[in-house]
Structure 1
Amino acid sequence: MGRRVKVAVVGGVFAVMVGGAGYGTYNFMSALNEGGGGRGGTGSAGPAPVKSGPASSDEVEETSAKFFAAWEKGQAASAAGYTNNDTAAEQLLTAYGEAAHISDVRITPGTSSGATMSYTVKAKVAYDGKSKSLTYKSKLTVVRGVTTGRALVDWQPSVIHPELRRDDTLVTGESANPPIEAVDRNGAVLTKDEYPSLGPILDALRDKYGDKAGGTPGIELVIRHAGEDAADTPLLTLAKGKAGKLRTTLSAGAQAAAEKAVKQYAQSSLVAVKPSTGEVLAVANNRKDAFNAAFEGEVAPGSTMKIITAAMLIDNGVTSMNGPAPCPDTATWQSQTFKNLTNMRPDENATLANSFMRSCNTAFIKLIDEKPLTDESLTTEAQTRFGLGLDWKTGVVSRDGKVPASSGPDRAANAIGQGQVQMNPLNLASVTATAITGDFRQPYLVSPELDDRQLATAKGLPSGTAAQLKQMMRLTATQGTAVEAMAGLGGDIGAKTGSAEVDGQAVSNSWFTGFRNDVAAAAMTEEGGHGGEAAGPIVAAVLRAAG
């Protein structure tokens, strides 16, 4: 759908919201309207007593009824006057009728729970001689205006449609891009219904490749998002366009396993890749929002970073898999003291393999000041060997990891995946793929031959380093911290666990990466605890299905 269409934008005014219960401070003009008989005002001659406290059940029903009645009649200004942000509400309600071409609105209230009212909206969308019915459910909450004490609808874009967010709007017209029929590596059709977490990714693929896949546009009602890179979200198709076929690197079997696996834990994300090619086999998210954290997240990866740190130590001759890496109780670097996980037994005679498979923090901290290491060594290893931070072009929006050169305490923190290091499951799955093959192959979701984009390149690892990393990951899966998660998996397997502390969180993020034959996968669960507890079972389930 062409961006030339003039539309209203949700939330385009200044409004301040306070309190978790939804008590809102609406804009100054709204306050004047309420007190002076303007839209939705009482019109009383003298000042009335200002009510306080939550809205009563009668007020909830009465306010909702008045708001619904004005909405049904297409009276945007009048309906907006029953909200605590009339300017923003009027913009979207106006777009609802004009830009989105929605009419014949009928709203059926459902049950109320406290100050929240649920309802069903039935309407008609008509454009260019085409029309179709539209039905959906939503809800609103009634709060009390701070200044006047009036019962008002707490304005959120989701009041108008449950999928609307701040700065979104609704538009009906010719599609911005033709529809696509996305298929997996073997030709199986990939749909949002069967693979729900692929929804935003399929929208993004259509936005980028719809005009290259050979289709023709249709007529749709869509949610238009404010971000330049954000693809429209289709809600209703009035006239089907011709879908062009777009082949992806995904595997329907691996994707199905990933969809099921991430549902085990809230706020989880996973990516699986084929190490021998860099092709993405599965990408899944189980989140409250539609954010593709699997590709776009930027958070500390915890001890999974020790794969790169171990490679740095080996490549620079500091130690080797069977060389010394003592594991004391604590290690101090430039006035900051680092500790190990609770109950970890110290071992002054530990090798690098032993400290790696037990995930001993202090062993890695003690070695980062050995010559010839510098503040830049970890960054150099991450970029030149593992391809991180090199502007990956996967086919959709993605972030390619950050391992900045750091001095002071952050140099030590970076080595164990804290400090300033940032990654996502896509990056970590690629790190594992590089570690076990020795070659960096930039992950991708759509073949670069389709649009002639250039994939990032890096020189990869010396064969001896890769062999040692792979063996240490094998030991971690069979004798170390990943044993429980990887139990029962046959074939050539390996893994690394991690947990990352995040400011403001009581529980650390859970990270896990592993491989089985020619499949590497990585997962992250926000506030999931230790790596083997949440992210581990997710990765193992996908490796079991795809490896």
Structure 2
Amino acid sequence: MARVGKTKNLVIGLVTLMLAAPLAACDDGRSGAEAAAKELASSLSALDVGSLAIEGTDAAAANQQLKDTFAGLGDVKPSVESGELTLDGSTATVPLDFTWNFGGTPWEYSSQAELTKSGDEWAVRWEPALLAPRLEEGEKLSLRSVEAPRGQILGAGDAPIVQERPVLRVGLDKTRVPADQAEASARALAELLGLDPDAFAKQTAASGAEAFVEGIVLREYTADITAEKVQAIPGAVALSDTMALAPTRTFARPLLGSVGLANAEQIEKSNGALQEGDSTGTGGLQQQYDAQLRGKDGVQVVAAIPAPADGSGTTGTKVFFEAPPTPGTTLKTTLDLNLQQLAEDTLAGVGPASAIVALRPSSGAVLAAASGPGSNGYNTAMLGQYAPGSTFKIIDSLAMFRNGMTADSTVQCTPTITVDGRTFRNAPGYPESSIGGVTLRDAFAHSCNTAFIAARDQVTQAQLESAAMSMGVAVEAPRLGAAAFLGSVPGEAEGTEHAASMIGQGKVLMSPLTAAIMAGSVAKGAPVSPQLVLNPDDGAPTGTASGTPTEGPPSSAAPTASTSVSPEAPSTASDKPITAEEAAALGDMMRAVVTSGHAGFLSAVPGAPVGAKTGTAEFGSENPPKTHAWIVAVHGDLAVAVFVEEGGLGAEVSGPLLQKFLTAAG
């Protein structure tokens, strides 16, 4: 029995040896080669091959070449995966699949690596093409951003407002001036361009040896900055380029904003969307819709081709990868270019902050929103917050109509009226013939403050708020598509504050846009909902709110900028909108301001009859107080508001501006 057991054990052992022999024969080195290929892919992903076995050069030299080759691609690292390996004895080939990601733009390619076995170790045969197909010795890759064509801003009828226009970029080319003379040239150029010489010299010194240091962008040479003067400064040049610009330097700039090179703060806040050298919008619609207008930049990966040592060729650029830019989206607006320019021309000589807003009541289209030179670049037309003065009597009158009065009802116009110790007066020059018992129409036409204040006991503050909302004032404007202040009328006020509200003062505030909406609602016979941007959501980045206002803090004259109706809370449209009958009665009284009131000068305006309402809003603690000058008007399917800050009387200051605008508008 023992002998049989030994024989059985011997047979099992022989079988085991016979089975093991084929397995050993199948271990042909594949597993080692595959492990080496995976290690190579991992090392390339980390941009560090210093620990690998390298054939053809030493590991340190290969590692340095790897870093030098890809240094121009920034901080991005590739994802590298090894593919199916092909084994041929002591050599193996394996595909390497590279994926780079440049701000959401992928660059994918495959190269071929060769491995050789020496003893028990697999080594990588090093060559440039392993890193990228067609890469040759000494070539270094760099990343270029290809700026997308910026979207245009169009006006009514798709007329181009902002489009690419020729410009001259005046600056210092450091390759054209000796290094020891660069500072002197920088200072001389700064003096010519009206820049701070110290700041420009510092900027020049901080720029690279081959940099172009931009000083100013001109539409064309001027009397002060000529080609001859620029060329006389060593290294100074004027490069021809294009830039997204409006028809003139000032055209609707507070509304549209501007476009320029992104500064450090804008780049930091962009979360990677902007890089140095990118253009971006600043202020107005250009900033609000920058993501749509800017589009998406393209990407190029290139290598410079050095000239042959014998001088037989020229330098060039080899393109390894190119993703074309996606052009920006065109922004369509309702602005009428002729009316906008006319409004700006009308305000050209006005010293204080000023504005003209014109809209089409039937559609709500904003045709012009001009802020005068005294606004110093602030969008007074849409963001200003001012007491509307007696233009608010349009809203008073609607509230009085709803309490049973008519244009022919008798009201008492007294020289003064005192409320809780505060005395209110009519504007200087108020006609004696309209003192005493007069019709509401007459009190409106001559703007009798005391008659409207006397009605405060019959018109509550809540009724004023309701009447304002009935006319599109102090409500949201969902179709506007731009930052705006749309009015604030408190629903609660007592005593002198309520009395002041009756003449458009106290805490009642409007922008010129709001005043135009109010007048337009009379012409339309229904509340006007203004519209400026026609396609606010076109091209909006996925997952973002398009058209979100981005205006910064405005001037002290206008404490906040918002599409909301007031700093407290936005309101929706009134549940009791103005009716056609109510609007007709208000239109009749506005016409009386022209035919028998103190805006008789508007009777000379050709075309449809003009209806108007003047306003003079007192503010401050001076004696006599300073005043803002207002006038609103309707002329056919056109509603206009004219405002001048600290302008005096509305009829005397804003009135002639309105007459000039309406007469030229035709």
For the aligned pair, the TM-score class normalised by the smaller chain equals 0.5 to 0.7
2:596 corresponds in structure 1 to 479
The aligned counterpart of 2:285 is 205
Could you tell me how far 1:132 is from its partner in structure 2?
Answer: 5.5
Change (3 A) 1:204 1:343: closer
| Residue from 419, 441, 447 that aligns with 2:534 | 447
Q: Following TM superposition, by how much is the alpha carbon of 1:126 offset from its aligned partner in structure 2, in angstroms? A: 6.8
Match of 1:409 among 482, 490, 496: 496
Contact persistence 2:523–2:639 (CA under 8 A) = no
Preserved CA contact (<8 Å) 2:331 2:535: no
The 2-side partners of 1:135 and 1:214 are apart by: 22
Partner of 1:530: 649
SS at match of 1:532: helix
Aligned partner of 1:419 in structure 2 is: 506
**Quick one: structure 1 residues 412 and 121, their matched pair in 2 at CA, closer, same or farther if it must change by over 3 Å?**
same
Select the residue among 379, 384, 392 that pairs with 1:297: 384
Equivalent position amino acid for 2:511 in 1: N
What does 1:141-160 align with in structure 2 at a 5 Å threshold? Answer: none
CA change 1:387–1:416 in 2 (3 A) is: same
Q: Is the CA contact 2:523–2:637 (under 8 Å) kept in the aligned structure 1? A: no
**Is 1:466 matched up with 2:583?**
yes
Question: In the TM superposition, what is the alpha-carbon distance from 1:366 to its structure 2 partner?
Answer: 1.4
Distance 1:214 1:199, change over 3 A: closer
In the TM superposition, 1:5-404 aligns within 5 A as 106-108=186-188, 121=200, 131=212, 133-135=214-216, 192=249, 194-200=251-257, 203-213=283-293, 215-216=295-296, 242-266=327-351, 267-286=353-372, 287-317=374-404, 319-344=405-430, 345=432, 346-370=434-458, 373-383=459-469, 385-393=470-478, 394-404=480-490
Tell me which residue corresponds to 1:457. Answer: 573
Deviation, 1:107, is 2.1
3-state DSSP of counterpart to 2:411: coil
Shift of 1:539: 2.5
C-alpha distance in structure 2 between counterparts of 1:494 and 1:180, whole Å: 43
Residues 387 and 456, structure 1, Cα contact 8 Å, conserved in 2: no
Shift of 1:475: 1.3
Q: Secondary structure at the match of 1:364?
A: helix
Amino acid at match of 1:278: G
CA contact (8 A) 1:110 1:120 kept: no
How many angstroms does 1:356 deviate by? 0.4
Shift of residue 348 of structure 1?
Answer: 2.2
Residue 316 (structure 1) shift:
1.8
Contact 1:481 1:496 in 2 (8 A): no
Task: Report deviation, 1:212.
Answer: 3.2
Letter in 2 for 1:543: L
SS of aligned partner of 2:527 = coil
Deviation track 1:435-474 (CA, whole Å, cap 9, x = no partner) reads: 2222112212102664688995334212221111101111
**In structure 1, C-alpha distance between the alignment counterparts of 2:393 and 2:585, rounded to whole Å:** 13
Label 1:193 to 1:332 Cα distance change in 2 as closer, same or farther (>3 A): closer
CA contact (8 A) 1:510 1:531 kept: yes
Distance 1:107 1:250 in 2: 42
1:292-324 CA-to-partner distances (Å, cap 9, x unmatched) read 11111111111111010011101221x211111
Secondary structure, aligned partner of 1:481: coil
Residue of 425, 434, 451 corresponding to 2:521:
434
**Distance in 2 of aligned mates of 1:120 and 1:132:** 12
Aligned residue identity for 2:473: L
Distance 1:356 1:257 in 2: 30
Please list the CA deviations of residues 476-500 of structure 1 after superposition, one character each: whole Å capped at 9, or x if unmatched. 1232121225533431211110111
Q: Deviations over 1:249-287 (max 9, x none)?
A: 100111011110111312111211110011100011123
Distance 1:444 1:283 in 2: 12
Q: Distance in 2 between matches of 1:427 and 1:495?
A: 15
Output aligned runs, 1:514-525, within 5 Å.
Answer: 514-525=633-644
Is 2:387–2:504's contact at 8 Å kept on the other side of the alignment? yes
User: Any idea what SS the aligned residue of 1:511 has?
Assistant: strand
SS of the equivalent of 1:354 reads helix
The letter for the 2-side match of 1:336 is R
Q: Deviation at 1:504? A: 4.9
Cα 1:430–1:400 change in 2 (3 A) is same
Tell me the alpha carbon deviations over residues 54-97 of structure 1, each in whole angstroms, 9 at most, x when there is no partner. xxxxxxxxxxxxxxxxxxxxxxxxxxxxxxxxxxxxxxxxxxxx
SS in 2 for 1:244: coil
Letter in 1 for 2:444: F
Equivalent residue letter for 1:369: D
The answer to whether the 8 Å contact 1:121/1:135 transfers is: no
Residue 180 of structure 1 contacts residue 213 of structure 1 at CA under 8 Å; is this kept in 2? no
CA contact (8 A) 1:261 1:542 kept: yes
Counterpart CA distance in 2 for 1:488 and 1:339 is 31
Q: Deviations over 1:140-183 (max 9, x none)?
A: xxxxxxxxxxxxxxxxxxxxxxxxxxxxxxxxxxxxxxx9979x
Structure 1 residues 208, 196: CA separation in 2 closer, same or farther (over 3 Å shift)? closer
Query: How has the CA–CA distance of structure 1 residues 246 and 191 changed in structure 2, closer, same or farther, with 3 Å as cutoff?
Result: farther
Residue 513 of structure 1: which of 632, 646, 662 is its match?
Answer: 632
Please give the alpha-carbon distance, in whole angstroms, between the structure 1 residues aligned to 2:255 and 2:629. 22
State whether residues 257 and 286 of structure 2, in contact with CA within 8 Å, keep that contact through their aligned partners in structure 1: no
What CA distance in whole angstroms lies between the structure 2 residues aligned with 1:540 and 1:261?
10
**Aligned with 1:255: secondary structure?**
helix
The alignment's TM-score, normalised by the length of structure 1, stands at 0.60
Question: Deviations along 1:230-251, whole A, 9 cap, x unmatched?
Answer: xxxxxxxxxx994532110100
- Flag the 1:362–1:449 CA change in 2: closer, same or farther, 3 A: same
Q: Which runs of 5+ in 2 are unaligned?
A: 1-178, 219-241, 259-280, 300-324, 539-545, 548-562, 564-570
Counterpart of 1:378 in structure 2: which amino acid?
L
Whether 1:490 and 2:607 are equivalent positions in the alignment is yes
Q: 1:376 is paired with a residue of what secondary structure?
A: helix
Tell me the secondary structure at the aligned position of residue 410 of structure 2: coil
Find the aligned partners of 1:243 and 1:497 in 2 and give their Cα distance.
Answer: 44
Unmatched runs of 5 consecutive residues or more in structure 1: 1-102, 112-116, 138-178, 183-188, 220-239
Q: Report which of the two structures shows the higher radius of gyration computed on alpha carbons.
A: 2
CA contact (8 A) 2:255 2:285 kept: no
Residue identity in the other structure for 1:513: V
Of 490-499 and 350-359, more deviation after overlay is shown by 490-499
Native 8 Å contact 2:332 2:535 kept in 1: no
